[in-house]
Amino acid sequence: MIELSENTSLRELQALSFWEKEEILQESSSAGPSNMNLVLRIKTSNRSVILKQSKPYVRKFPQIPAPIQRIQVEFEFLQLLENHPLAAKFVPKILAYDASNHILLTEDLGKGKDFSGIYSGEKSLNETDISTLMEFINVLHGIQAKDFPDNMDMRILNHEHIFHFPFQKENGFDLDSIQPGLQKLSLEFKHNELLKEKIESLGKQYLSKGETLLHGDFYPGSWLEVSTGLKVIDPEFGFMGDREFDLGVFLAHLDLGQQKEDLKNQVISSYSHSFNLPLLKAYRGVEILRRLIGIAQVPVNMTLSQKEALLNFAKSLIIDAHE
Ligand SMILES: Nc1ncnc2c1ncn2[C@@H]1O[C@H](COP(=O)(O)OP(=O)(O)OP(=O)(O)O)[C@@H](O)[C@H]1O
Ligand SMILES: [Mg+2]
């Protein structure tokens, strides 16, 4: 297998099979913030492209194994969407795919910014952004994709970090290193047996097969603002599951980014498919909890007491889901 890195020379990259006749590689650089995969922006004499290679581990933390087939999932997802008349405009076009080397080459959408800035308050979402994101979700959730890969290895990885690890009493992750006092605050959620029971059964639900093609990681890091509009990238967690999962994650990140209630109401009111409200609330709640007391933190700008209020809100979304 060809192992690429950020240090791979232009000469070695030029030797890959993707290039057109007389296409000369001119520059290779990191495409943007990423943890999981190698993602390069390669400028050539003809164009600029994005090269993504999955590894059998998390690129930034090579000691942590990760399912290498995730790039195949991303490829199949993008292929379905680029051939869909209403979905194509949201995603980068596939230029080449080399399954044996786990490399996907896509169109460079241009240097853009994702929406992670909403956590610190340096970026905010407006009504137009929400309607664009909802247009995407409405189209995506209507796509027929019966034979889509089950992506079970990635779901098991995600399951651990959403439904299990954050609620383990002794997980070895000192939350005080994130914010002093957070460890003590987290104990209530790690010791609440009713809450943990509900989260465990929700986790089983996440691992079961559903009817809807999901993005699987529908949060601000997957929304890219470029000159041609708002795009959706990084579908490596995609699978056939509960539509309430994508929606719940979406809403949870509006909570974590302290966005206006109007925007959250807009998400719910503009969703065009039927859904189960208690299930949506529960997925929203667990995503909030895991982002505040789990390992996959997002850079929120909140005092300890704001976190406490949001954690309690999340708990109520799960426990009182049926009220
Ligand atoms: N097609 C594209 N056009 C322009 N920029 C892109 C494109 N694909 C990725 N990027 C940039 O590269 C960054 C990393 O890409 P991506 O999120 O797909 O990688 P990843 O390794 O899966 O990241 P993560 O660790 O967050 O899962 C994006 O945040 C974006 O800035
Ligand atoms: Mg990713």
Residues 64-103 pLDDT 10s: 999 999 999 999 999 999 999 999 999 999 999 999 999 9
Beta carbon of 39 within 6 Å of any ligand 1 atom: yes
CA 117, CA 128: separation in Å to the nearest integer? 17
* Ligand 1 closest atom vs CA 106: 1
Residue 195 has pLDDT above 70, yes or no: yes
The residues spanned by each domain of the chain are 10-107, 113-319
Pocket test for ligand 1, best of 219, 233, 295 (most atoms within 8 A of CB): 233
Residue 51 has pLDDT above 80, yes or no: yes
Which ligand is nearest to the Cα of residue 35, counting in written order? 1
The whole-number average pLDDT for the span 108-114 is 96
Average pLDDT, stretch 259-263? 98
Q: How far is the CA of 32 from the centre of ligand 1 (A)?
A: 6
Nearest to 248 by CA among 286, 209, 222, 212: 286
| Residue among 252, 250, 244 at smallest CA distance from 310 | 252
- Which has the closest alpha carbon to 256: 203, 183, 177, 311? 311
127 sits in the region (left: phi over 0; alpha: psi -120 to 50; else beta) called alpha
For 10-107, which CATH class?
Answer: alpha beta
Give the angle subtended at the CA of 183 by the CAs of 178 and 189, to the nearest 5°: 120
Say if CB 70 and CB 36 are below 8 A apart: yes
Q: What is the CATH number of domain 113-319?
A: 3.90.1200.10
pLDDT tens-place string over residues 134-173: 999 999 999 999 999 999 999 999 999 999 999 999 999 9
Q: What is the pLDDT of residue 320?
A: 87
What is the model's pLDDT at position 322?
Answer: 63
Predicted confidence at residue 100, as pLDDT, reads 97
- Phi, psi values for residue 30, rounded to 5°: -65, 140
pLDDT tens for each residue of 217-233 = 999 999 999 999 999 99
Tell me the CA–centroid distance for residue 102 and ligand 2, in Å.
14
pLDDT at position 315: 98
Q: How many whole angstroms from 34 Cα to the centroid of ligand 2?
A: 7
Q: Which two tokens stand for residue 55?
A: 């590894």
Pocket test for ligand 1, best of 34, 37, 73 (most atoms within 8 A of CB): 34
Average pLDDT on 203-229 reads 97
Nearest bound ligand to the CA of residue 108: 1
Rounded Cα gap, residues 256 and 291, in angstroms: 8
Q: Which residue minimizes the CA distance to atom 10 of ligand 1?
A: 31
Span 56-69, average pLDDT: 95
Report the C-alpha gap between 289 and 5 in whole angstroms: 34
